[in-house]
Structure 1
Amino acid sequence: MAQQGATLQNFNNELVKSIEELREKREQISRAILKEEEEKAKISNDLRILTERLSRINESLARKISARNEYDKTIQETEQAYMKILESSQTLLHVLKRETVNLNKQVGQ
């Protein structure tokens, strides 16, 4: 009977030891979970900040692209008007030269 008591005591000791090992592993997992949850929260916050920043940059880019397009349009319209002025100036110069020649012919006669 003493041997059965000793065997039972050994089983009990092993059982207690196994339970302690399981608790220790559970605690390790709990610490790992906590660490990953903290990392997840940090990454989520970083992602929120970056998403807001990306949104602001996209809005800024849209405004700047629109402004650049307006500059392009204004430059093109101004260049076209300037070319018309040059053409008109050239035509005026030709007319002036022709009239000067005609006037000189009339005065010279």
Structure 2
Amino acid sequence: MMSKQGAALQTYNNELVKCIEELCSKRDEVNRQVQQEEEEKARLQHDIRILTEKLSRVNESLARRLASRAELDRTIAETEAAYMKVRVWL
């Protein structure tokens, strides 16, 4: 009877050890995936920072060019208006 219980206990022990090993293996795989995703996250955050800086520079340049264009539009309109007044007298 005791050897039967001992054999059953050994079987349970072996199954438990196998289960723990499988869980450890799964944990290692999940840990590897976590590390990969953390690396990807860091790359993406770096890319976002670089692109945000580029976007800021482009926005600043665009604002300057839009202001310059508006000033040129005003100058052209004023010059055309003055030309039309002179032309009337010719």
Tell me the equivalent position of 1:71: 72
Task: Point out where structure 2 has 5 or more consecutive residues left out of the alignment.
Answer: none
Tell me the equivalent position of 1:92: none
Tell me the equivalent position of 1:12: 13
Equivalent-residue separation in structure 1 for 2:65 and 2:89 (angstroms): 36
Equivalent-residue separation in structure 2 for 1:80 and 1:31 (angstroms): 72
TM-score (ref. length: structure 2): 0.95
Please report how far the alpha carbon of residue 52 of structure 1 lies from its aligned counterpart in structure 2 after TM superposition: 0.9
Equivalent-residue separation in structure 1 for 2:89 and 2:3 (angstroms): 126
TM-score (ref. length: structure 1): 0.79
Give the residue type in structure 2 aligned to 1:16. V
Please report how far the alpha carbon of residue 8 of structure 1 lies from its aligned counterpart in structure 2 after TM superposition: 0.7
1:51 and 2:52 aligned: yes
Tell me the equivalent position of 1:101: none
- SS of corresponding position for 2:63: helix
1:37 and 2:29 aligned: no
* CA displacement, residues 19-70 of structure 1 (integer Å, 9 cap, x when unaligned): 0000000001000000000011111111111111111111111000000001
Q: Report how many aligned residue pairs link the two structures.
A: 89
* CA displacement, residues 64-102 of structure 1 (integer Å, 9 cap, x when unaligned): 00000010000011111111111122xxxxxxxxxxxxx
**What RMSD in Å do the two structures reach over aligned CA positions?**
0.7
Equivalent-residue separation in structure 2 for 1:81 and 1:4 (angstroms): 112
1:61 and 2:62 aligned: yes
- Following TM superposition, the consecutive aligned residue runs of length 4 or more in structure 1 with deviations greater than 2 angstroms are none
